[in-house]
A and B are shown apart, each in its own frame.
Chain A
Amino acid sequence: MRRFFVVFIGLQLLLFGIELLEPVQTHFVLPVTALLAHVCSSLIGAVDANAVAYGKVLMNPKTGFGISIEPGCNGIEACIVLLAAIVAFPSTWTHKLIGLGVGLVAVQLLNIVRVISLFYLGQWNMAWFNFAHSYLWQALIMLDVLVVFMVWARRYARPPTGPSVHAAAA
Chain B
Amino acid sequence: MPQQPEPQRRAPRFSPLTRFFARAVAAFLAATALWWPVSDYASRPAAFVARVVLETAFDGWVRRTSSSPHKLEVETRLTVRMPQQPGMPRNMVAELTGEVDPAKYGYSLPLLLALLVAGSRRHLLRNALVGAACLVPFHAFSIAATLLKDMVLGGGPGVLAQTGFAQWQIELLAFCYQLGVLLMPTLAPILVWLGLDCSFASTLLRQEEPHPPSTPTQPEPPTAAPAPQMQEPQGLVSTSPAAVPPRRPPPPAAPR
> A-side interface residues toward B, CB under 8 Å?
1, 4-5, 12-13, 16-17, 20, 71-72, 77, 81, 89-90, 131, 134-136, 138-143, 146-147, 150-151, 153-154, 157-160, 162, 164-165, 168
Contact = CB atoms under 8 A, between A and B. Distances in A.
A138 to B, nearest CB: 5
A151 B178 CA distance: 28
B239 A138 contact: no
Interface residues of B, number: 42
Contacts of B36: 131
Given A135-B107, A154-B17, A168 B175 contact: no
Given A136-B32, A138-B107, A159 B238 contact: yes
A140 B28 contact: yes
Contact of B239 (A4, A136, A147, A164): A164
Given A81-B187, A143-B24, A150 B236 contact: no
Contact of B187 (A142, A147, A168): A142
B17 A160 contact: no
Contact of B21 (A72, A81, A134, A147): A147
A168 B140 CA distance: 49
30 contacts: A1-B234, A5-B191, A16-B175, A20-B178, A77-B182, A134-B107, A135-B107, A139-B28, A139-B110, A139-B111, A139-B186, A140-B28, A141-B186, A142-B190, A143-B24, A146-B190, A147-B20, A151-B17, A153-B205, A153-B236, A154-B206, A154-B207, A157-B236, A157-B243, A158-B237, A160-B233, A160-B237, A164-B239, A168-B228, A168-B239
The 3 A-B pairs of least Cβ separation, nearest first, read: A142-B186, A135-B107, A72-B182
B183 interface: yes
A1 B199 CA distance: 12
Contacts, number: 93
Best-surrounded residue of B181, B230, B235 (most CB of chain A within 10 A): B235
A130 to B, nearest CB: 10
Given A1-B234, A13-B179, A16-B183, 20 more contacts: A1-B198, A4-B236, A72-B181, A72-B182, A81-B183, A131-B36, A135-B107, A136-B32, A139-B186, A142-B190, A147-B17, A150-B204, A154-B205, A154-B206, A158-B237, A159-B237, A159-B238, A164-B233, A168-B228, A168-B230
Interface of B: 17, 20-21, 24-25, 28-29, 32, 36, 104, 107, 110-111, 174-175, 178-179, 181-183, 185-187, 190-191, 198, 201, 204-207, 228, 230-231, 233-239, 243
Given A20-B174, A20-B178, A81-B187, A143 B231 contact: no
